[in-house]
Amino acid sequence: MTIISLKKQFMQFFNANILQKTAKRTGFIQRNRSILPEILIPSLISALSKGNCHAIADLHRQFNGMCLTENDNVAYKPFHNQLRKEAFPHFMQQLVQLAITQFARQQCALLPKKLSCFDDILLQDGSSFHVHKALADIYPSRFKRNPAAIECHMTMSLRTFNPTAMTITADTASERAYLPKPFKMKNKLLLADAGYPDFEFFADVEHHNGFYIVRGAKSLNPRVVEAKNGKGRILPKLAGMKLKDITRRTNRAEILDLKVHRGKQEFRVVRRWFAEEKRFCIWLTNLPTEAYTADDIMAIYRCRWQVELLFKELKSHTNWQRFATAQKAIVDGLVWASLLAVIIRRSTALQIMVSGK
């Protein structure tokens, strides 16, 4: 990737004709007026990438600052009215999909040997943030202290370091409903946290030749079929026991690599004892023991931290929590605009890093 080809990508994405057609197709604009998409979109990305954007007024100032002449400047009210259109989030969502196709999928990070055999490694997570209390009926929160909150469900690719899918829901929505579709998981590895265990989903993923490593919940209590310690030595006394019955008193191994049975389903569990915290950590997987040790499973799962870093970037650097507006369209639209800014920033940085090697 050269600076010239990167410039070409920018010119294609920010092409006035493409942006206007997308805006008209989504209903964001009917005809060209003062607030043109080819000025609005770069101004939103620029404002949301500074780290000091706290209000709609900051977006408005950035827009006017990017206008060619003062005659092109727009007053605050028409600018606000444009953003509050129901079509605004749909327009921004379409641009996010376009950016994923044009930027994110054009790059591919080198992965360790143990992961290079997969077509992709998908990181799944959700993150919530509080919105204006007037939106409580639309976006109810799980907590009474803050009555309104949004949950963003995201799937991120470890190969591109960018999102492949995102959905905005109320904070009360189930996380499991937004997992990748099992039929799309062929030769892909999913990493997800403890909020996502769904054994029917795991069976479907395996049926479609996909793989998973998911953090296990404390309530998990399958029956052990076969047990090994972290070094691969078989522990015959643990066979037939329930997982919760294997305590520090019954077995002192720090790491257990188990084949377990739950109902009609058989899968693999890796369990580790953290002495300082005095607790067990559990991972569920269908990766074969012949190719992936218990240490491999734990090391691979740590890659899921990348999606948490992406959420941290969205929340802090783009300041998407600080817009105190009761307009649903503006809230949704700015979440998508923030994601668009992150995709472009990350893709640009990764491509420059690759070209500099």
pTM of the predicted model as reported, rounded to 2 decimal places: 0.87
Extract the tokens encoding 127.
């993150």
Please check whether residue 329 lies inside any domain of the structure: yes
Task: Compute the C-alpha angle 338/314/7, nearest 5°.
Answer: 55
Rg of the Cα trace of the chain?
Answer: 24
Please check whether residue 187 lies inside any domain of the structure: no
Q: What pLDDT was estimated at residue 328?
A: 94
3-state class (DSSP) for residue 300: helix
Report the length, in residues, of the chain: 357
Domain with 333 in it: 3-107+325-355
Q: What pLDDT was estimated at residue 315?
A: 78
- Per the structure, how many domains does the chain have? 1
Each residue's pLDDT, cut to its tens digit, for the chain (357 residues) gives 455 577 788 888 899 999 999 999 999 998 878 899 999 999 999 999 887 788 899 999 999 999 878 888 999 999 999 999 999 999 999 999 998 888 766 566 678 889 999 999 999 999 888 888 999 999 999 988 888 999 999 999 998 888 899 999 999 998 888 999 999 999 999 999 977 678 899 999 999 999 999 999 888 999 999 999 999 999 999 999 999 999 999 899 999 999 999 888 899 999 999 988 899 999 999 999 999 999 999 999 999 998 988 888 887 766 666 567 899 999 999 999 999 998 888 888 777 766 655
- Quote the DSSP letter at residue 153: E
How crowded is residue 273: how many other Cβ atoms within 10 Å of its Cβ?
Answer: 17
Distance from C-alpha of 27 to C-alpha of 160, rounded to nearest angstrom:
31
Please check whether residue 28 lies inside any domain of the structure: yes
Please check whether residue 54 lies inside any domain of the structure: yes
Extract the tokens encoding 90.
């749909």
If 0-12 CB within 10 Å is exposed, 13-18 middle and 19+ buried, where does residue 116 land?
A: exposed
